Chain A
């Protein structure tokens, strides 16, 4: 039973345009969400996060939107650059008295076309 789902395995976007990566979750207890980015032969690196008390968090070209009623979050990258080509993982966690765990999605491979 996958609690965090990324239904698009891949996405191609023209350089300079907006990339939108989507993530859905089923566990309503999740209250913290993260996006990680992974290049080949490297480990995932933290990109941006959002707490459930917010519906938007922005960091430079990256914005994460959270729709709690729909149990959906999205990552917007604008403008997209060739260096953004990577696999993006959505992850979620919930408060558990200091014993929190991250639950990951399967990832979306983003390719930016020059």
Chain B
């Protein structure tokens, strides 16, 4: 399998549930990202990991908790979400975080919070 994969592709959860989104990249990249895309809004950067260390937390509520156990895997743990958290969550990776580096995106997880 090549590129960036994400599971699950679709997720429906209640506000009291705990779930996790998984991202895996097969490109040998050192940087990984979580983005959120809400309807009619730009992609919003949530978290950035470089060499498995978090280097950016873009003012994301604590009900979203990222984990990067190694350079190929990235998780987003979800708990006590709100309906306004319903969105498309995209994972991306790049060789490094440096300037002009192309980011490669996964297909996304479409999340619905009831």
Chain A residues with a Cβ under 8 A of chain B: 2, 4, 9, 32, 34, 36, 41-46, 49, 51, 89, 93-96, 98-107
Contacts and interface: CB of A to CB of B under 8 A. Distances in A.
Nearest to A101: B45
By DSSP majority rule, is chain A's interface helix, strand, loop, or mixed?
loop
Give the size category of B's interface with A.
20 to 34
A46 B103 CA distance: 7
A46 B104 contact: yes
Given A4-B42, A106-B42, A43 B56 contact: no
Contact of A49 (B45, B102, B104): B102
A43 B92 contact: yes
Contacts of A32: 99-100
A43 B42 contact: no
A93 B43 contact: no
B5 to A, nearest CB: 10
A7 B96 CA distance: 31
Contacts of B102: 34, 46, 49
Contacts of B99: 32, 93-96, 98, 100
A105 B42 contact: yes
A96 B98 CA distance: 8
B98 to A, nearest CB: 5
Given A32-B99, A43-B90, A46-B102, A103 B42 contact: yes
Contacts of A96: 99
